[in-house]
Structure 1
């Protein structure tokens, strides 16, 4: 089930979009301003965001700019302003689509569906192990509702291990596949990243197992 975040200071518009989205089978959360939206996007994985431009405090453009520092989640912007400059600004900041108010909720649902189809609905490539979820498309790792912001190489390392579940991988193989260079004699960087990754995973640290004298493997029991 795809998850939507609806961001608008107008509660009536939020409820209208929520009603149509839930009828179409989407799971929805709401935010009434940019600050709340940023907090939600930093702790929850969404498949698409519906974002109003004109909001008090952080407007939609500022909110989108903050989104793009951490996430590439698709965004549809809603606005009552038809100026070309506003549309170009939104697209330059990373908006995926633009819809003028007042709009047809059915058209919005159609645009949501088209974007998710075009993106391949990245939620479908998730790797799930109990409450641990790894999403390659969004480069996100969650345990339950908690999201971990892993450093890039730690994420790549975790993903490669998980994609090869139960297969013991040598340090040399991990260097070659994750770091992209051939083994030159020093594998300590792999051990260092494994140690840090385990610390980040907390209760799920045991999914990364050491095979002494060989390397590491990912195994969920």
Structure 2
């Protein structure tokens, strides 16, 4: 995992950097908020550990700006222990909060725990053009508007959207969506595809028939 560390205290910066490198993580470091933002723009990280009291840009503001670019795990560090300060950090998008002084191994544990949560969520989310499919909640959204689909139709679209441009045969779709025990007619796929096409909001995302083979999902610019 590539971690961006933003801390203006050289001793603390070295401590965090050494702990993360020893655990096998790739590390980028900055001691200024603006420098950190430019570093992230040129070389995006998978997660960030950010001190709140920074020169150039407040750590909470930096957290918010990074989150607007890419939703990555962020842990804020601070000498401030008041709840109001913590609440402000969470309101700016922080995923966790540690007060100095802290145990480096605990920071590593918390960072890895937050990253795992992100991995689980990411694995259940698929984007295909303006469509977002959330497998955990069986929710399809188009430009933030929810489109309600029956379970099988959602699973069928999810399978196609996971590999846009790939052509799936009817047998593959039946096996992946209905399972090996399915004993119905393979024309069931055609019926569900027809219904899905009628529900998709526009032609930026469309299911195309590949004659004699099966179906593929196309995402148009």
Give the alignment's TM-score, normalised by structure 2.
Answer: 0.59
Shift, 1:182, TM fit: 2.9
User: How far, CA to CA, are the matches of 2:95 and 2:37 in structure 1?
Assistant: 18
User: How far, CA to CA, are the matches of 2:216 and 2:48 in structure 1?
Assistant: 38
Shift, 1:164, TM fit: 5.8
User: How far, CA to CA, are the matches of 1:183 and 1:88 in structure 2?
Assistant: 40
Listed one character per residue, the Cα deviations across residues 149-179 of structure 1 (whole Å, up to 9, x for unaligned) are xx963999xx9373563549xxxx7xx58xx
CA contact (8 A) 1:161 1:217 kept: no
Aligned to 1:206: none
User: How far, CA to CA, are the matches of 2:59 and 2:6 in structure 1?
Assistant: 9
Aligned to 1:121: 119
1:104 matches 2:81: no
* Higher alpha-carbon deviation: 5-14 or 76-85: 5-14
Shift, 1:76, TM fit: 0.5
Q: 2:199 aligns with which of 182, 205, 218?
A: 182
CA contact (8 A) 1:47 1:121 kept: no
CA contact (8 A) 2:168 2:215 kept: no
Question: Cα gap change, 1:23/1:217 in structure 2, threshold over 3 Å: closer, same or farther?
Answer: same
* Aligned partner of residue 89 in structure 1, secondary structure: helix
Give the alignment's TM-score, normalised by structure 1.
Answer: 0.59
Q: 2:130 aligns with which of 153, 160, 166?
A: 153
* Aligned partner of residue 91 in structure 1, secondary structure: helix
* Aligned partner of residue 95 in structure 1, secondary structure: coil
Aligned to 1:148: none
Aligned to 1:78: 77
User: How far, CA to CA, are the matches of 2:29 and 2:120 in structure 1?
Assistant: 21
User: How far, CA to CA, are the matches of 1:22 and 1:123 in structure 2?
Assistant: 26
CA contact (8 A) 2:167 2:215 kept: no
CA contact (8 A) 1:33 1:56 kept: yes
Note the 1:21-60 alignment, pairs <5 A.
21-60=20-59
* Aligned partner of residue 163 in structure 2, secondary structure: helix
* RMSD of equivalent CA atoms: 4.2
Structure 1 unaligned runs (5+)? 126-135, 140-150, 192-210
Runs of 4+ in 1 over 4 A off after TM superposition: 122-125, 187-191, 214-218
User: How far, CA to CA, are the matches of 2:132 and 2:105 in structure 1?
Assistant: 38
Tell me the matched-pair count.
173
